[in-house]
């Protein structure tokens, strides 16, 4: 029997996704939302009522690494496995972005930009590389790619992971070691998933565990950060800068203080853009695996939220 696949993507990208997925999986039958039963749902931020009119038999594929939006959809079937994108070209992009943020902090490029704006010629002393610790929160596919990209620069690397693991040339922390981990981060790069346990994780207390003059980089989800507490840490000089690609509300409201804060660098959720061809090929391979009775990568643990 030919697998029936429903692509549920809202907005102007819907047709592009359907075409790319159909090209990557020509043996499947792609159906419309009028179909009451499907074998596979391929989706990104589906409509709230999608499971009221669609019964999914075999699996749900999420067109992104984060599944927090999907897990909140009413009626999400408990017995159907969910698979998320595990890389699909995102790891290289995330590594590029993270390396750029770290090097900007290490070389003091924000200070030089401020000097230029003020018309001041003011060389800064060189920093000691061996004391400039860089920490990555989250040691999954994306986190390990970031750590690997940073390794050639010679910074002391550390990682914080829920599950203890060994990573070459990286000091790995976990469990109750968050304060110890943060205390050695001249730059902290957040790549944690959005779960009940991580929501509002970066508040006044945890931000204070970073060294004075440290740099905070959030490439995960905006819900992990208490915005007012981050602004206060920047205003006081406790933190030198924040590089933010994700926000609680997207697009960011025009009156939000991040827009014009002199110590904030913002980008509109572009650190790792989902790539159409690579993602479609990964989903196609996953559906073929399920059809063959195998287990694709990227299965979501609902209890953990990722």
What pLDDT tens digit does each residue of the chain (306 aa) get? 699 999 999 887 899 999 999 999 999 999 999 999 999 999 999 999 999 999 999 999 999 999 999 999 999 999 999 999 988 899 999 999 999 999 999 999 999 999 999 999 999 999 999 999 999 999 999 999 999 999 999 999 999 998 778 999 999 999 899 999 999 999 999 999 999 999 999 999 999 999 999 999 999 999 999 999 999 999 999 999 999 999 999 999 999 999 999 999 999 999 999 999 999 999 999 999 999 999 999 999 999 999
| Contact between 157 and 136 (Cβ < 8 Å) | yes
DSSP 129: G
Summarised one tens digit per residue, pLDDT across range 78-133 is 999 999 998 889 999 999 999 999 999 999 999 999 999 999 999 999 999 999 99
Residue 13: predicted pLDDT: 85
| Contact between 216 and 204 (Cβ < 8 Å) | no
Q: Which two structure tokens, joined as six digits, stand for 171?
A: 């000091």
On whether the pTM is more than 0.85, the answer is yes
Task: Indicate the burial class of 196 (C-beta count within 10 angstroms; 0-12, 13-18, 19 or more).
Answer: exposed
Residue 12: predicted pLDDT: 74
Separation of alpha carbons 134 and 131, rounded Å: 9
Domains identified in the chain and CATH numbers? 4-88+274-291 (3.40.50.720), 90-266 (3.40.50.720)
Residue 206: predicted pLDDT: 98
| Contact between 217 and 188 (Cβ < 8 Å) | yes
| Contact between 296 and 285 (Cβ < 8 Å) | yes
Q: Which two structure tokens, joined as six digits, stand for 246?
A: 């994700």
Is 269 considered catalytic here?
A: yes
Is 221 considered catalytic here?
A: yes
* Active-site residue identified among 158, 215, 221, 263: 221
Count of residues for the chain? 306
* Active-site residue identified among 4, 29, 269, 299: 269
What percent of the chain clears pLDDT 70, i.e. is strictly above it?
100
How does 86-105 read in b/e, with b if 16+ C-beta sit within 10 Å? Answer: bbbbbbebbbebbbebbebb
- CB atoms < 10 A from the CB of 132, how many? 18
Residue 106: partners with Cβ closer than 8 Å, 6 or more residues away: 127, 129, 132, 155, 186, 187
């Amino acid at each position: 029997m030919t697998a029936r696949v429903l692509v549920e993507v809202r907005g102007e990208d819907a047709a592009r996704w359907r075409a790319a997925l159909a090209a990557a999986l020509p043996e499947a039958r792609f159906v419309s939302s009028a179909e009451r039963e499907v074998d596979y749902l391929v989706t990104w931020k589906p409509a709230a009522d999608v499971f009221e009119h669609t019964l999914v038999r075999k699996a749900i594929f999420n067109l992104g690494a984060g599944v927090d939006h999907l897990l909140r959809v009413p009626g999400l079937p408990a017995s159907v496995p969910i698979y998320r994108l595990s890389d699909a070209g995102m790891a290289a992009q995330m590594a590029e972005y993270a390396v750029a943020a770290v090097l900007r902090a290490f070389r003091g490029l924000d200070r030089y930009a401020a000097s230029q704006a003020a018309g001041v010629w003011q060389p800064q002393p060189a920093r000691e590389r061996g004391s400039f610790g860089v920490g990555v929160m989250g040691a999954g596919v994306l986190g390990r790619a970031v750590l690997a990209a940073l390794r050639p620069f010679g910074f002391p690397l550390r990682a914080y992971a829920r599950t203890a693991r060994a990573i070459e040339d990286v000091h790995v922390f976990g469990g109750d070691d968050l304060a110890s981990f943060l205390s050695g981060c001249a730059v902290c790069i957040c790549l944690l998933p959005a779960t009940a346990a991580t929501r509002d994780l970066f508040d006044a207390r945890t931000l204070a565990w970073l060294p004075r003059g440290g740099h905070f980089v959030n490439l995960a989800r905006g819900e992990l950060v208490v915005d007012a507490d981050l602004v206060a840490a920047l205003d006081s000089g406790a933190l030198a800068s924040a590089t933010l690609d994700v926000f609680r509300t997207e697009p960011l409201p025009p009156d939000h203080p991040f827009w014009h804060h002199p110590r904030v660098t913002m980008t509109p959720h572009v650190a790792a853009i989902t790539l159409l061809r690579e993602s479609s090929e990964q989903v196609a391979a996953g559906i073929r695996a399920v059809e063959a009775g195998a287990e694709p990568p990227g299965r979501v643990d609902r209890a953990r939220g990722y």
